[in-house]
Structure 1
Amino acid sequence: MKTTDKRAPRTDGEATRKRILTAAGELYAEHGLAETTNKMVAQRAEVDLASINYHFGNRNGLYQAVLGEAHRRLINLVDLERIAHSDDPVEEKLRQLFDYLVNRDTRQKGQWPIRVLYREVMSPSSHLLTLGENQIYPKIGMIQSIVSDITGIPANDPALLRCMLNVIAPCAMLHVVSQFELAPAQRLSAMPSQDLVDHLYRFAMAGLAVSGEHYRAKH
């Protein structure tokens, strides 16, 4: 009698992939890319090396996946799209953006995603370009649309990039200083998040209003 061997599809593939990502992220955060081998990742994730190659192709593929996952956990494109495409007044969108970024930072403090990204930014590799294309630039585009609507400056005008710097830089600095146990950083961390949100919003709105007026006066 002829029999057929029908193997049931694996249902734990995604769970294994997530376990590898978490293990790799923790190790990259602790030791950096150069000092972390796939063997170390496999041991922590309790998988074999073949599983890493199956899910990520190679060491570079794994690191890029970790960077992408870290950035997604820190700033999720879906969340930014929800804010940018809502029917709320554009000023309220900016406040929601700061609220999202500040409170997202509080939840991520001390966790591996922010530490992995900090390592990559402070000592950038070629993988940062890939992260920019896949994660950073689309998210900047969402913020750009909000800032453009507030100032009236077209999205393709260099003047808008200067405005973007004033909006994004303070939030980025919150992530950076959270990595240090310095007195100013500790005092910032101890502040009520809503106070930080209100300050960043007022500061940004004042600057964006002036920038918009300056742009219209020149054009």
Structure 2
Amino acid sequence: MTGARRPMRTDGEATRARILEAAGELFAEGGFAETTNKAIASRADVDHASINYHFGSRSGLYREVLVEAHRRMISVEDLTAIAEADVPPEEKLRGFIARIVAAVLDGQGWHGKVLSREILSPSSHLDVLPLSEIGAKMRIVLRILSGLTGLPPDDPALRRSLFSVLGPCAMLLVAAPRISPLADDVLTTPREVLVDHLCSFALGGLAAISARGARE
């Protein structure tokens, strides 16, 4: 018995994917303002009309690139699998951090560079992420942190802790272009050592917040 085959992409789907990939590469190299439809069409080997047909405009295309970049960093499906794994909460946090570290260090594809640009210089298009990606992912990570601290997911202290956990992960993206010796020190650290450090740092802070919550 043979396994079910994945349905083949239609010509339109293949063209859309090719445009998205070409745009991601170019936006990573030069940013939104410096990347023209002409350059995207040339790299994707399509005409200008195809960009508008599939994405509405260059702005619409850039917003789709941002969403795809965030998904390539870590998807809702990835996070759900981590959160629902039959392991202690500490291992779930480690799985999350390890996934982010791997996404940053494994070749630093265009997705990481696009998100790094947005962290350093947010554009007016960034609001697409809370609507399509960040909200769902935050709820999943809050469940993991809730299991670690005993605080409910809607506790303001837990929500602040989320930013404390995510901050160092965001800094990895900023450091990835290696614009300073400090970035080299971090990015040349053995992966397991880096994951251990980020986990220990996060767990120490979460333990303190948990203890404070218990006292209060």
Q: Name the residue aligned to 2:158.
A: 160
Mapping of residues 86-101 of structure 1, within 5 Å: 86-101=85-100
Matches of 2:97 and 2:122, distance apart in 1? 26
Q: Name the residue aligned to 1:201.
A: 199
Q: Name the residue aligned to 2:105.
A: 106
Superposed displacement of residue 122, structure 1: 2.1
State the structure with more CA Rg: 1
Q: How many residues align?
A: 208
Please tell me whether the aligned partners of residues 82 and 95 of structure 2 are also in contact (alpha carbons under 8 angstroms). yes
Superposed displacement of residue 100, structure 1: 1.2
Mapping of residues 6-155 of structure 1, within 5 Å: 11-109=10-108, 111-155=109-153
Please tell me whether the aligned partners of residues 74 and 108 of structure 1 are also in contact (alpha carbons under 8 angstroms). no
Please tell me whether the aligned partners of residues 29 and 116 of structure 1 are also in contact (alpha carbons under 8 angstroms). yes
Matches of 1:22 and 1:159, distance apart in 2? 39
Superposed displacement of residue 193, structure 1: 0.5
Please tell me whether the aligned partners of residues 70 and 113 of structure 1 are also in contact (alpha carbons under 8 angstroms). yes
Kindly provide the amino acid, as one letter, of the partner of residue 173 in structure 2. H
Superposed displacement of residue 165, structure 1: 2.0
Residues 2-42 of structure 1 deviation map (CA, whole Å, 9 limit, x = unaligned): xxxxxxxx832222111101111111122221122212211
Would you identify which runs of 4 or more consecutive aligned residues in structure 1 move more than 3 Å?
none
Where does structure 1 lack aligned partners over 5 or more consecutive residues? 1-9
Residues 111-168 of structure 1 deviation map (CA, whole Å, 9 limit, x = unaligned): 2211112222222222111122111221121111100111111111211122112211
Matches of 1:204 and 1:118, distance apart in 2? 22
SS at match of 2:127: helix
- Superposed CA RMSD in Å reads 1.5
Matches of 2:85 and 2:200, distance apart in 1? 21
Percent sequence identity is: 50
Residues 50-84 of structure 1 deviation map (CA, whole Å, 9 limit, x = unaligned): 21122112222111111111111112221111001
Please tell me whether the aligned partners of residues 41 and 51 of structure 2 are also in contact (alpha carbons under 8 angstroms). yes
Superposed displacement of residue 108, structure 1: 4.6
Matches of 1:125 and 1:74, distance apart in 2? 19
Q: Under a length normalisation based on structure 1, what TM-score does the superposition of the two structures give?
A: 0.89
Q: Name the residue aligned to 1:4.
A: none
Q: Name the residue aligned to 1:185.
A: 183
Q: Under a length normalisation based on structure 2, what TM-score does the superposition of the two structures give?
A: 0.90
Please tell me whether the aligned partners of residues 67 and 128 of structure 2 are also in contact (alpha carbons under 8 angstroms). no
Please tell me whether the aligned partners of residues 108 and 114 of structure 1 are also in contact (alpha carbons under 8 angstroms). no
Matches of 2:29 and 2:172, distance apart in 1? 21
Where does structure 2 lack aligned partners over 5 or more consecutive residues? 1-8
